[in-house]
Amino acid sequence: MNLGGKIKFGLVGCGRISYKHIEALASFHNDAELICVCDIVRERASKKAEEYIEYLNKQGVGHKVETPTIYTDIDEMLKMEKIDAISICTPSGLHPDHGIKAAQAGVHVITEKPMATNLKKADELITVCDASKVKLLVVKQNRLNSTMQFLKRAVDKGRFGKIYMLLVNVLWARPQEYYNEAKWRGTWEFDGGAFSNQASHYIDSLEWLGGPVESVTAITGTLARKIETEDTGSAVIKFRSGAIGNINVTMLTYPKNFEGSITIVGEKGIAKIGGVALNKIEKWEFADGDDDDEFISKANYEPPNIYGFGHTGYYENVLKVLRNGADPNTDGREGRKSLELIMGIYKSSREGKTIYLPLDLY
């Protein structure tokens, strides 16, 4: 069902990432409206509702929009409000439960990454959304970075020739205070570890660029933080194409986030997208030239934080999907791919052996 008029959104979960959704929705105020927000802490929800109006005020339209209604219970919000779509920004382990509630109420689902902390719950969410005939969209905003768009085009055009290696580094810092701020952080049930949470977008990038994965061998460890999950780890990936991948992740970098990068090595080219968060093209060399090469220097940018600017572009696609039936950038099945690789990494580390995909799930 395609939607006309302003698309009405609700938002559940008013923590760290929610402001990117609020900012994006405010930027599309002619086509979308945030009419309600929900958080178990009422003060957090109130703050985000006010934040939304502040963004609109900067665009001179805040006086035309009512402040979003505040809720502390998602069931009550879904019962009382007539929303078209819900943005889910709660702890990762709650994404499927909240998405299922929304789908059963006939509401389209936009969920932050990862879509779940295990594949069984992810599949339940996909099944219910299918049965309810609502869209399920998983936020993967890094794909929309200008630097990553250039890299993806180079892969799709075959500029690398045969790809030999894909290398990823996520060298960030999360002090103990970060985990202490919220009890769910660093837990298996609600969060997952460095691979599942902080490196999720980078794992998605590996599959997006390298194609289907054949196997993974991984080592993870909890080296410094007092948490259930890992703060550090490495994984070696064998792609079905024959290429070899490697991803190194740590939340222990001193004294702050240092690098979020991906490098592709091929028979006819090499490229590295680096910076703190895939925001700089640090290496770009190919045997054959291309029109894109003239614009490489303009692709670099300075993000205000590790989230970059991709949420706005993501919501542009969301609105086209809901209004015009456009193809989603990342639907539930696409979002599931990186989750399966993450689960493979954890299974390999736990069992001390190479794990082949697809996983034997149940």
- Output the pLDDT for position 297: 84
- Output the pLDDT for position 233: 98
- Is pLDDT above 60 for 38? yes
- Is pLDDT above 80 for 1? no
Q: Residue 139: what residue type?
A: V
Task: Kindly state the average pLDDT of the residues 109-117.
Answer: 97
pLDDT in tens, 299-348: 888 766 555 557 999 999 999 999 999 999 999 999 999 999 999 999 99
Average pLDDT, the chain: 95
- Is pLDDT above 90 for 125? yes
More confident residue, 308 or 56: 56
pLDDT in tens, 201-226: 999 999 999 999 999 999 999 999 99
For residue 14, the SS3 value is coil
Cβ neighbours of residue 130 under 8 Å, at least 6 residues apart? none
* Spatial separation of the C-alpha atoms in residues 162 and 156, rounded to whole Å: 12
pLDDT in tens, 260-290: 999 999 999 999 999 988 999 999 999 999 9
- Output the pLDDT for position 165: 98
- Is pLDDT above 80 for 362? no
Task: Kindly state the average pLDDT of the residues 118-134.
Answer: 97
Q: Which residue segments constitute the domains of the chain, with CATH numbers given?
A: 7-141+310-331 (3.40.50.720), 142-279+339-356 (3.30.360.10)
pLDDT over 70, % of the chain: 96
Task: Kindly state the average pLDDT of the residues 26-55.
Answer: 97
pLDDT over 90, % of the chain: 90
Task: Kindly state the average pLDDT of the residues 109-113.
Answer: 97
- Output the pLDDT for position 2: 63
DSSP for 221-273 reads E--SS-SSS-SEEEEEEEETTS-EEEEEEESB-SSS--EEEEEEEETTEEEEE
CA 334 vs CA 176, 204, 212: distances in Å: 33, 9, 12
At 63, the pLDDT band (50, 70, 90 cuts) reads confident
